[in-house]
Structure 1
């Protein structure tokens, strides 16, 4: 971006199937920037080489980016090249060979977007092409306008044509000549003929206006460009549904507010008959939250406290009531998740279960965890705490073979279609909160009985946990310290006790050091 002060940077990709197992991915990056002199182009891909190497150059950088890009392309059996005209811009073209994957995620729409007719308004032809292409992919009918006046004319024509209904949704660009998106939105929202049309403002990231300003004009949603595919899809779903989620959006739908919504369908998933899960989890609180989550999406589950219990449970199940899938905690006493998975794959629980889907659950969320889980024989990986709808898409993939059926049914009375802002994750806050009771209530579907049971269990266990930590610190027993701090970190995460979770994570990090690097005074602190 730094070489393109005006105009645009466009990234385009193409996928070509070379044979049943091999694909070629071509990626072009085209800009309208300063361009590159022909005599400099050939050396651009050499390490520490830039087109402008003078001491007074305007743009910084090490000259390594293109060299790294070239090596990556070559390692993947491809190439990279550049074409450029000084003062007009550059086009970098790259290609690479890829194998087909059996792990591609499928989009699971919550509404039938193919029934929508959407007006997209933008004076930039690239933006129109990108939006139209995405909407076409989802099956929606997209009608384009390159200016505010053209958009008003199209709306007027549809109003006068009795065979057509108004557009369902309009996506408006902010920065347009003559009539910008704000003025167009004001005209549309104040015209009684177009009151049913939902308005979405899309602005460049440098625009300084706020969500409240857009809501006051009459917009229903507000996104910076480029909006992510998931945000756009979710926004269209909420707008088309025109239900509680839209009514409670304050002041309107944004990329931030979408993260606070439940992703559940307004219909319950109809799981295959006889679906029965097994949860391996050694902590009572985590067991209760997992069972509550699964119950609210219509799934029955049994619980085992460690790998040995799980293998015994699997052996005892009859052919009439077999387990369908295993949710496997990785850190457990006696036999952890990795050992248990290897034992199941080796037939220790019976030949019937050697291929059962096993989904890892781990609170570590550290680099290498996913690879370790897959190497042990697990099929998929979920980071804890797992709550609300986080595991649904994964469960659908393995229980329904990517073909979920749905039945029309009301959601449970204690469910809510929106999540309060208080449930924002720790990473989205400046500092961890001591405790977020609203977040916990939302996590367990506002089940008051479960809320009380979780807190009572935690409070009754806390004195023993505190004693165990102090004893491990005093004796420099790092193995015991790791076990108790890891367990508490997961429990605090489930209970939305962010501050305590952060402290437990810090203790766990100390326990992972070589003992000669551990200062007893640090542990006492």
Structure 2
């Protein structure tokens, strides 16, 4: 497996480098949540850092604007390259990622992102060549650490393409610091701003911080000082236990690292529970790697919250507010607070999901379940009406194209029921069409809002929070609609340079978790789906063929698999119009494209499973 991963890394580096050198690399400008992207990206490296005995810390400027416009996929790639390199060349110590807001001028935020390590360092005379292709410290570096020597060169070129600068400062035996200075436009669309709940003031609250790493303690201390809380620092579980035994007045909250020499976090929590005056103090556990059984240990010990490191500033703030609001629980009394429950802190919604596609059902259930919502499935509009009549739902996610009865007709009947006294319910349209004017059609058809497929978990989460009972309808968010190409005359033929699957673009459009879930399911279902589509053709069931092609079109859009998606678009179009023998040739061509796509999807599914 390690050899396969190394080979994949080399291939991806060479492809990226070739694309940049040929001028084929393009950047997107889309809205993204910077304060979420950075900790989420670093968490994918936390386990590998911990396994090599390294501490991975994040120091994120509190004044950072949250929503920016740019290419989140390429920014993630830059961070991955710099942090991955730091882990590779640091045998012991720590890696610290610091983000500073330098200034905001004319709507652009100038950021400084630095990745510092305590690694082997780079001789000064070689630093000027570090960003050249195939350049490493010396020949032995490749033999010892692996890699192509392309990572930093690609990173440098990406930063330059984004209008930024990348520099290095290093000393042999002391470590290195790579610094990116880059500008992003600040996203001024206020519909994306969902203010985090801050139900508890931290002013004057006493917070005990327990961690053996000095940098982590300094970062946490600065956070709580900014929130006007009193931070008390202890460097080990044993020291924390001594402090708590001696202090008759307990602190308000304890934030504790799990992996510490001597008593680990769980052992310290167990010992604190034996102290009468500390048994009700809430504890937040921080860990670099969630391990099987950790949740059960938290329940048994009454630990209120469990966050993966490095945790973002907002996650820590909201976790502390939540546990102070609760107080400490007994074993198994209440659900453990995690970063997912913090992000969806509204009460769980009861959701009716009207969707006939099994993959979309599975994906929506995975995301909704992770966020704590309860979901019932209707496979068509008629089933949706039956379940709606029974009541008990807060919101309906309504697919527009379903067998027996579509989303528009089902919505019209529900709105008629409301005129006759049924409770008003929020209905969110879902469609893979993403054509200009679809949102307006949905609103005119009685729906409250619009969610385009493929899903992006962040936007899915936000639209649910927007329509939770605490945040009932406001303005409709802006939606990007990707216009589909007009029908060509011939069967689409791939260009030699055309890629089956652009993973970075897929991540920018969706995210790793979504892409991984879809890829795994698609690999299982695609062959069966092709058989069903051929059966529909032979049976002259063009309505079913069009519906299946439409679903395939939306699923392929998740992967930025442009050649295969275009074929599905053509089949969808032909099924509604000419219904000619051309469909057979299109199905054959789609089979070939899916065969080319399969190896890429296997990699994506495996990558997401390992980093999920």
TM-score range, shorter chain: 0.5 to 0.7
Deviations 1:417-467 (A, max 9, x none): xxxxxxx999679987xxxxxxxxxxxxxxxxxxxxxxxxxxxxxxxxxxx
Task: Report the Cα offset of residue 392 of structure 1.
Answer: 2.0
Q: Which one of the candidate residues 230, 235, 253 is aligned to 1:146?
A: 235
Corresponding residue number in structure 2 for 1:449: none
Corresponding residue number in structure 2 for 1:84: 170
Corresponding residue number in structure 1 for 2:450: 360
Secondary structure of the residue that 1:186 maps to in structure 2? helix
Distance 1:471 1:213, change over 3 A: closer
Length, aligned pairs only? 397
Corresponding residue number in structure 2 for 1:6: 92
TM-score (norm 1): 0.57
Contact 2:567 2:590 in 1 (8 A): no
Structure number having the greater helix percentage: 2
Q: Which one of the candidate residues 520, 537, 541 is aligned to 1:473?
A: 537
Q: In the aligned structure 2, how far is the partner of 1:211 from the partner of 1:120?
A: 21
Q: In the aligned structure 1, how far is the partner of 2:298 from the partner of 2:337?
A: 11
Contact 1:239 1:246 in 2 (8 A): no
Secondary structure of the residue that 1:192 maps to in structure 2? coil
Residue 74 (str. 1) matches residue 177 (str. 2) = no
Distance 1:20 1:285, change over 3 A: farther
Q: In the aligned structure 1, how far is the partner of 2:124 from the partner of 2:271?
A: 50
Q: In the aligned structure 2, how far is the partner of 1:482 from the partner of 1:470?
A: 11
Task: Report the Cα offset of residue 185 of structure 1.
Answer: 2.4
Q: Which one of the candidate residues 249, 263, 277 is aligned to 2:345?
A: 263
Corresponding residue number in structure 2 for 1:414: none
Q: Which one of the candidate residues 218, 221, 224 is aligned to 1:129?
A: 218
Q: Which one of the candidate residues 320, 330, 351 is aligned to 2:431?
A: 330
Distance 1:178 1:298, change over 3 A: closer
TM-score (norm 2): 0.50
Secondary structure of the residue that 1:54 maps to in structure 2? helix
Deviations 1:111-165 (A, max 9, x none): 3253654211112121113333444566655332233454345435642xxxxx5
Contact 2:427 2:449 in 1 (8 A): yes
Contact 1:245 1:261 in 2 (8 A): no
Q: In the aligned structure 1, how far is the partner of 2:159 from the partner of 2:408?
A: 44
Contact 2:101 2:111 in 1 (8 A): yes
Contact 1:167 1:197 in 2 (8 A): yes
Q: In the aligned structure 1, how far is the partner of 2:515 from the partner of 2:259?
A: 35
Q: How does 1:35-54 map to 2 (within 5 A)?
A: 35-54=121-140
Deviations 1:166-207 (A, max 9, x none): 223211223444554344323311111211112233334398
Secondary structure of the residue that 1:58 maps to in structure 2? helix
- Higher Cα Rg, which structure: 1
Q: How does 1:205-220 map to 2 (within 5 A)?
A: 205=289, 210-213=294-297, 219-220=303-304
Deviations 1:236-255 (A, max 9, x none): 455334389986569x7374
Q: In the aligned structure 2, how far is the partner of 1:53 from the partner of 1:294?
A: 69
Distance 1:292 1:40, change over 3 A: farther
Contact 1:485 1:508 in 2 (8 A): no
Corresponding residue number in structure 1 for 2:366: none
Q: In the aligned structure 2, how far is the partner of 1:139 from the partner of 1:291?
A: 48
Contact 2:302 2:332 in 1 (8 A): no
Q: Which runs of 5+ in 2 are unaligned?
A: 1-86, 350-377, 416-423, 477-512, 522-531, 555-563, 572-582, 592-612
Residue 191 (str. 1) matches residue 275 (str. 2) = yes
Distance 1:398 1:186, change over 3 A: closer
Corresponding residue number in structure 1 for 2:480: none
Q: How does 1:5-404 map to 2 (within 5 A)?
A: 5-54=91-140, 57-103=143-189, 105-109=193-197, 111-112=199-200, 114=202, 117-135=206-224, 141-152=230-241, 154-156=243-245, 158-159=247-248, 166-177=250-261, 179-205=263-289, 210-213=294-297, 219-227=303-311, 232=316, 235-236=319-320, 238-242=322-326, 248=332, 253=336, 255=338, 263-265=345-347, 284=381, 327-330=428-431, 338-341=436-439, 359-365=449-455, 382=459, 391-393=464-466, 399-400=473-474
Q: In the aligned structure 1, how far is the partner of 2:451 from the partner of 2:142?
A: 53
Deviations 1:335-364 (A, max 9, x none): x8633447799xxx7xxx9xx998432344
Q: In the aligned structure 2, how far is the partner of 1:123 from the partner of 1:293?
A: 55
Distance 1:225 1:327, change over 3 A: closer
My pick for the range that moved more, 40-49 or 201-210, is 201-210
Task: Report the Cα offset of residue 261 of structure 1.
Answer: 10
Deviations 1:13-36 (A, max 9, x none): 011224241221100100001111
Q: Which runs of 5+ in 1 are unaligned?
A: 160-164, 268-280, 315-322, 371-379, 403-423, 433-467, 491-506
Distance 1:474 1:364, change over 3 A: farther
Contact 2:302 2:328 in 1 (8 A): no
Task: Report the Cα offset of residue 400 of structure 1.
Answer: 4.2
Task: Report the Cα offset of residue 284 of structure 1.
Answer: 1.9
Task: Report the Cα offset of residue 93 of structure 1.
Answer: 1.1
Distance 1:55 1:63, change over 3 A: closer
Distance 1:509 1:194, change over 3 A: farther
Residue 483 (str. 1) matches residue 581 (str. 2) = no
Q: In the aligned structure 2, how far is the partner of 1:481 from the partner of 1:171?
A: 56
Q: In the aligned structure 1, how far is the partner of 2:514 from the partner of 2:142?
A: 44
Deviations 1:488-507 (A, max 9, x none): 999xxxxxxxxxxxxxxxx9
Corresponding residue number in structure 2 for 1:494: none
Distance 1:479 1:83, change over 3 A: farther
Q: In the aligned structure 2, how far is the partner of 1:381 from the partner of 1:56?
A: 38
Task: Report the Cα offset of residue 44 of structure 1.
Answer: 0.6
Q: In the aligned structure 2, how far is the partner of 1:215 from the partner of 1:308?
A: 46
